[in-house]
Amino acid sequence: MSSRREFIEKLSITAISVPLLYSPAQLFAASSEPYEGPILKVAIMGLGSYGTRVAEAMQSCTRAKLVGVISGTPSKIKKWQSKYDIPEKNCYNYDNFDAIKNNPDIDAVYIITPNGLHKDQTIRVAKAGKHVISEKPMGINAQEGQEMVDVCKAANVKLLIGYRMHFEPKTVAVIQMRKDGDFGQPKFFQGQSGFTIGDPTQWRLNKELSGGGAMMDIGIYSINGARYMLGEEPVWVTAQETKTDPIKFKEGIDETIQFQMGFPSGAVANCLSTYSMNNLDRFYMTGSKGFVEMQPSTGYGPIEGRTHKGPLTQPHITHQTLQMDGMAALIFDGVQPIVPVDGEEGVKDMKIIDAIFKAAKTGQKVTL
């Protein structure tokens, strides 16, 4: 067995033994015992670009396993069946997947479809009695997000959002440093999240399927990052939108938004979300005693960065492998990541996105 796989196994076991906190010390402390606990049996819904990445990463998981698929494309189902040894009885399409209710071989469904479909698909999965992992953004507004939370609660299933950075070692280390007071009082966060989007016909530029443009897709990383880097919830936002290509970025599809957030302590954040510039994946935070800068800060990795104490040296491990093992630990043993990945966490980001859109449209400061 590769040493990387052994490392991940050790890492998962250590996390289980210390519920309720997923600190770097626990994350990296090794145990020599092999893992013999329950395995989270997952079906992926939506076999697109990110679904493929998650499936690959899950091959290295210790506590989670890909066992099923839900897809509208029969040829992809066939390919995945042979690649990942998925039995016919665990394959579904969008019309018949409510039948997972009667399939004891599936514990959870990971929804990796366009944003505008997450809510209805979450509700159907929850009603089938299975745990839901929904990709970010959890829906297209806070109201949808809250409905998803309520339905999953009523169905007594977990709702988790695909916040992979909450398991990423360098990010976890920085959050722990902030909690330990290493930066003193956090004062300012700067987040830059963007890339140049290609194909104008893709669902990401279709309001009904995406719910918005860059903000829903990539700007959300700066919102979520500001919250976990500063350790507070914003109380107001202001925002300014610029559009250079109104044909590609139609009404309701934001191309570039700059936004600011104010926090109860007086800390402020200044962020950029865009679909029209490359090389934007950077977080900077400064406090009364120190600073951290990360670039890249949320890409698939390796994440790189330094603080006033020196470079961040935690190892790179495939984010989605850590995430899925971490989510299995959460579902089976209640091991909480350092920052939550539950539906309520998703709703917090959606409320901020709603407020940013309102602020950009009205030019007003919006109170949260």
List residues binding ligand NDP (CB under 6 A): 46-51, 71-73, 76, 112-115, 117, 135-136, 162, 164, 203, 209, 217
> Min. distance of Cβ 222 from ligand NDP in angstroms?
14
* For ligand NDP, the closer CB: 103 or 115: 115
Cis peptide before 114, with omega less than 30 degrees from 0?
Answer: no
H/E element holding 109?
A: strand 108-111
What pairs with residue 132 in β-bridges?
109, 159
* For ligand NDP, the closer CB: 46 or 337: 46
> Min. distance of Cβ 112 from ligand NDP in angstroms?
5
- Taking CB atoms, the residue at the shortest distance from ligand NDP is 48
* For ligand NDP, the closer CB: 267 or 350: 350
Query: How are strands ordered across the β-sheet holding 91-92?
Result: 91-92, 64-70, 40-45, 108-111, 131-134, 159-161
* For ligand NDP, the closer CB: 192 or 238: 192
DSSP 143: H
Burial pattern 52-64, b for ≥16 Cβ within 10 A else e, equals: bebbebbebbbbb
Spatial neighbors of 278 by CB under 8 A, at least 6 apart, are 194, 195, 196
Whether the Cβ atoms of residue 259 and residue 368 lie closer than 8 Å to each other: no
In three-state secondary structure terms, 294 is: strand
Residue among 322, 298, 274, 168 at smallest CA distance from 224: 298
H/E element holding 241?
A: strand 236-242
> Min. distance of Cβ 268 from ligand NDP in angstroms?
27
**CA–CA–CA angle 18, 349, 239 (5° rounding):** 145
Active site members: 136, 221
* For ligand NDP, the closer CB: 279 or 367: 279
> Min. distance of Cβ 355 from ligand NDP in angstroms?
20
Whether the Cβ atoms of residue 53 and residue 320 lie closer than 8 Å to each other: yes
> Min. distance of Cβ 258 from ligand NDP in angstroms?
21
